[in-house]
Amino acid sequence: MNKRDSIAPQPILLRDYVVPAFLLDRVDLTFELDETSTRVSSRLVLHRNPDHPVSDADLVLDGHELMLESVLLDGEPMSTDRYDVDDESLTIKGLGESAILEITTRIEPQKNTSLMGLYKSNGNFFTQCEAEGFRKITYYLDRPDVMTRFTTTIIADRSKYPVLLSNGNRVGEGQYDRNRHWVKWVDPFKKPSYLFALVAGKLSCLQDSFTTRSGRKVALEIYVEPQDLEKCHHAMESVKRSMKWDEDVYGLEYDLDSYMIVAVSDFNMGAMENKGLNIFNTKYVLARPETATDADYMGVEAVIAHEYFHNWTGNRVTCRDWFQLSLKEGLTVFRDQEFTADMTSRAVKRIDDVRTLRTAQFAEDASPMAHPVRPDSYIEINNFYTVTIYEKGAEVVRMYHTLLGAEGYRKGIDLYFKRHDGQAVTCDDFAAAMGDANGFDFTQFKRWYSQAGTPVVKVVSQFDAANQTYTLDISQTCPPTPGQPEKLPFHIPIALGLLDAAGAEIPLQLAGEASLQGTTRVLQLTEASQRFVFTGISAQPTPSLLRGFSAPVKLDYPWTRQELAFLMAHDSDSFCRWEASHTLIREVLLELIAAARASETLSLPGELVDAMRRALLDEAADPALIALMFTLPAETYLADQVDEIHPDAIRTAREYLRVALAKALRSEFKHTYARFCGATQAYRYAAVDIAKRALKNVCLGYLTSLDEPAFIELAQTQFQQANNMTDSQAALAALVELPQGATALADFANRWQDDPLVMNKWFTLQAMDKRADALDRVRALQQHPAFQITNPNKVYALLATFCSSNLAGFHRADGAGYAFAAEQILVLDKLNPQVASRLARSFNRWKKLEPTRRAQAKTALEKLAAHADLSRDVFEIISKNLA
């Protein structure tokens, strides 16, 4: 027996949910912040929950890494025989129907490297409480269905911590003693403990205001370290755009006197929606043209929108338990996706989101970590902040929108808020509101919440010239996933159109309908297989399937390359135009991978060259769309398309295609680069400029792959003269693996060595290095002064990028990449289990590897599993991978 077996953490099950034994009427918190030890005093006004099945249940308060000083019940000290304390809880026995409990504890934030609970970063205090961090602050009913009003008083040294922030509205402040001051905050809205926040430190503030549609003036404040104040203006504009959009599109108004954002560099996540006091990773606040790329600007805007939108979809209405996490996250991701689509390019945003879904979430669905949008169980809830919960969850919400239409969706959302404002609810409650508002039965649709895996939709078409009909036979299957060997049919909306020989849209009418119903139809696939017959089709059409990616499925249709080229040129649906190019490139790459495995000569199909040439020369097309057409699928995505992963063959095939396309379209790439290069202009964050930079830099990447002096000089000139980080980073990426790359990397580091976020880009570029010595480079970079293993951003930029995205580098034939990852996971697990567990997911594809690598990866996983002191976070990932 493995020594771990006898102490393996046990899963928490959705079916075991029981309402809390006690509820809270209010909580008063007092923090006495100190350099070595912080005292936390809580006053809990509580009463028994009449809905709990045990009328005399003990009060069990969650607590972890706390030093208990005192417990008072209704003002009197409690004798020690009335309560029990262990490593995870404080249990109070024999309470009556109501009580006032006062608990004082001490904690040591300066030693907290997990970045959960209260911790210090660069001399300042911060909190992160979602999902279960509040229990590291004080003993509490740390679960999302216990909601109450918080009053928070913070006491600290005025000279060291002049800024003291918490949730809600500031109601008082003053001098506590000779050196210390205090600030009192009251949050008028009930919230669970995971939304609590506290910040204290020396921070500068960018101030502005927003007037709501009802005329209320809201103070807007962004707090950062003093040297970063100039980088906050884009974030502030993003806040105002988000507030306006939520009023215009959802009718939702902000509800406090102030809205605050605080940026911190040591943070596990992207940001956190704590009520009124959002704490952000600096990555999603700080931006100026010289240091932030177009993608960074979009990321700042999107994440600020996401956290602001949580004020209603997550805060005012929260989740009953953590199994319902996608109730708030999937819904809010959909909202931020739609916001970004309205702020930038709807077509490009949709394609970007689908690329993320296919590369990351489809891979998760096909891995040992596959789980439903609403999981049935977990060992460590931190492991379920996944692309399935977020991105697939957003696709589920998008399908409500597709099935109901914009008006029906809005009716459902309005009813959801009317019914559940101030409550902790479930995914079923959301589905019920959507259905009741529209008279729509979502019973079958809810299988999207309970069944894991990516459905495969197969389409077979048949044209009948004599009867002028076009028939689509559509079937669905879903592969088995852990714990779910068989699946019932999903309710799948399939948006489609038909194009005639000239590329024009054909008006559509299904058999049995009285009239034409437009040129894009949404078919509802609810059975294992169904037949749809379109009438009045006079000539063979070309189908445009899954328009807008109307469902998170894999489409199986026998396209010819001529049909794909036709759709690339003519489809009115931008997603389907891109999808045609993506499908054509994917098919070619799969053939090249097979040839590389067989050591056959690789060749470039003429149909692909012709289709890509036409796209590149289409000056009427959106440059951003063309740039996406020329962005080759990631190696990790290609790994998910094959039955057995041979990393070297995948890399060989992808690199061959990149260089072959560059050779075949050399003059077109050169022409297009020159077309968008032009004179140096001031940077603008505008969709038209973003599109031009995107295509220009894609062309530069192809040209430098030819390793010709003239094109290398182009990249060097752009690198030296760029007035924005988008162009600078693109040029550096084009040079990094060439002999000239070493000088460019040194110049870049010398210029930006004092900017942590820019240095993270430097680490990431080198972690993706395709040369054979990439692992040695990564090891060497760990010794660089700009790298700190205690900072999650640094770990993600260097270690996670190498292990998760550098396919051939991580999956080295000698197994050294696996040994390296295991070594780093163990180091990180002692410091920050959340970050360690994310790195452990690098092994998720190991069962699909070719036999030699598969055996090496398994050995590394088994060595990890043999460690008896693994955190629950890492244990869950490793054990599921080995199951």
pLDDT of residue 7: 66
Four-way CATH pick for 753-883: 1.10.10.60, 1.20.120.530, 1.25.50.10, 2.160.10.10: 1.25.50.10
Whether pLDDT at 680 is above 60: no
Which tens digit of pLDDT belongs to each residue from 697-726? 999 999 999 999 999 999 999 999 999 999
Whether pLDDT at 343 is above 90: yes
Q: Which CATH superfamily is domain 318-450 in?
A: Neutral Protease Domain 2 (1.10.390.10)
Tell me whether domains 14-202 and 753-883 share a fold: no
Q: Specify whether the backbone of 640 is left (phi greater than 0), alpha (psi in -120 to 50) or beta.
A: alpha
Whether pLDDT at 679 is above 70: no
Task: Give, as one character, the DSSP assignment of residue 611.
Answer: H
Q: How far apart are CA 648 and CA 636, in angstroms?
A: 12
**DSSP character string of 689-754:** HHHHHHHHHHHHHHHHTT--HHHHHHHHHHHHH-SSHHHHHHHHHHHTTSTTHHHHHHHHHHHHTT
Whether pLDDT at 5 is above 80: no
Both tokens of 499, joined, read: 């194009």
Both tokens of 71, joined, read: 């417990």
In the predicted model, what is the mean pLDDT of residues 444-449?
A: 98
**Which of 772, 769, 730 shows the shortest CA–CA distance to 748?**
730
3-state secondary structure of 365: helix
Both tokens of 672, joined, read: 């297009």
pLDDT of residue 3: 40
Q: pTM of the entire structure?
A: 0.98
Q: Is the sign of the CA dihedral 395, 401, 406, 407 positive or negative?
A: negative
Four-way CATH pick for 14-202: 1.10.260.30, 2.60.40.1730, 1.10.1740.10, 3.30.43.10: 2.60.40.1730
Whether pLDDT at 4 is above 60: no
| Residue that has been written with the tokens 């430190």 in this structure | 201
pLDDT of residue 339: 98
Helix (H) or strand (E) holding 395: helix 393-420
Tell me how crowded residue 440 is: count the other CB atoms within 10 A of its CB. 15
Show which residues are catalytic: 307
Q: Where are the domains of the chain?
A: 14-202, 318-450, 753-883
Which tens digit of pLDDT belongs to each residue from 785-826? 999 999 999 999 999 999 999 999 999 999 999 999 999 999
